[in-house]
Amino acid sequence: MTQRLLTKEDVSKILGVTVGTLAVWRATKRYNLPYVKSGRLVRYREADVQAFINSRIYGEG
């Protein structure tokens, strides 16, 4: 099963943060947003980004 990999730019648009903010999160481990690194390339699994969003939903039920 192949998972779709998103670029830093894709994820920054989805989350509404800058690419620089994502870099800070990776460096400081501020948030648990897993990523895949191959050399200098950073990619995010689409399922991980969705799980990250779902983990931040408050006020439901």
Give pLDDT tens digits for 6-42.
Answer: 999 999 999 999 999 999 999 999 999 999 999 999 9
Query: What integer is the mean pLDDT of 54-61?
Result: 86
The parent domain of residue 22 ranges over: 5-54
Residue 60 maps to a domain: no
Q: Above 70 in pLDDT, residue 61?
A: no
Residue 49 maps to a domain: yes
- The region that residue 29 occupies, defined by phi over 0 for left and psi between -120 and 50 for alpha, beta otherwise, is left
Burial class (CB within 10 angstroms; exposed 0-12, middle 13-18, buried 19+) of 6: buried
- Domain count for the chain, please give it: 1
| Predicted pLDDT of residue 10 | 98
Residue 36 maps to a domain: yes
Q: Which residue has the higher pLDDT, 1 or 26?
A: 26
Residue 31 maps to a domain: yes
Contact in structure between 44 and 11 (CB atoms under 8 Å): yes
- Band of pLDDT at residue 59, cut at 50, 70 and 90: confident
Residue 13 maps to a domain: yes
Quote the CA–CA distance of 51 and 61 in Å, as a whole number. Answer: 18
